[in-house]
Amino acid sequence: MMLRTLLLALVAGQALAADHAASLDWSGRVSLTLPVAGVLERVEVQAGQTVRKDELLAALNPTLYKAGVAEARADFDRLTQEAADAGRDLDRVTELYARTVASTTELDAAKLRHARAQSGLAAAQARVEKARRQLAESELRAPFDAIVLARHGEPGQVITIPCQPAAVVSIARADEWLARAPLDAAQAANLRLGDDAVVQIAGQSVTGRIRALTAQAEGRVLLDVALPRAAGTYAGQGANIRLP
């Protein structure tokens, strides 16, 4: 009886751990475009190239955006002088009013002019920031350390915003894989995001973390385990995910 109980316990213990056939896929895969319109002037990368965060990937012709910054800055400088003049005038009228030389109407008019000047200056500052932002967005930079999967854009291509803008490059994380395996809903029932999972690749065991559990058709669940990218591994490579 004791032997039978021990055997059942061993079998139950083996059933708690199971290997699930998986494959490696890109992590953080995304197609990038530019959020402003213009003519593509440069594409600095090729497929297979590794880039660092904030590295330049592509750029539009910046002429119009640089002109926009200059125009907004000139308007801001003009309104700065007008606001300073309105401030001095308000100080003068306030002093005269205190000496009963200026009327309440004159004081109110000076206050109104000053308020309008300050409001115009604030709006001009916003236009400067907007123009600077648009100039910055005329350059496409890597959002993280990445590998370039595809180069879609070429110099001379027109990027249009009212329509769905075309992708310029596609990238994925350079330091991470996703090991993906389909599971039954029952197999995924006790799994939690952030839990550890061991992934076996080419005879090597790597500890990763459960990144996602995505519901699929017919009661299936797609398991994603994020793990560090090792040399010699590649997208589509077979793997096994061992779950408790």
- The confidence score (pLDDT) of residue 7 equals 34
> Would you give the DSSP letter of residue 167?
P
- The confidence score (pLDDT) of residue 10 equals 36
- The confidence score (pLDDT) of residue 187 equals 87
- The confidence score (pLDDT) of residue 218 equals 85
The confidence band for 17, taking pLDDT boundaries of 50, 70 and 90, is low
Round to whole Å and give the CA distance between 15 and 20: 13
Which residues 6+ apart lie within 8 Å of 13 measured at CB?
none
- pLDDT (tens digit per residue) in 34-61: 999 999 999 999 999 999 999 999 999 9
**Angle, CA of 65, 66 and 72, to the nearest 5°:** 90
State if pTM tops 0.75.
yes
Of the CA atoms within 13 Å of residue 187, those in its CB half-sphere come to 19
Three-state DSSP state, 233 = coil
On the question of pLDDT at 80 being above 90, the answer is yes
- The confidence score (pLDDT) of residue 153 equals 95
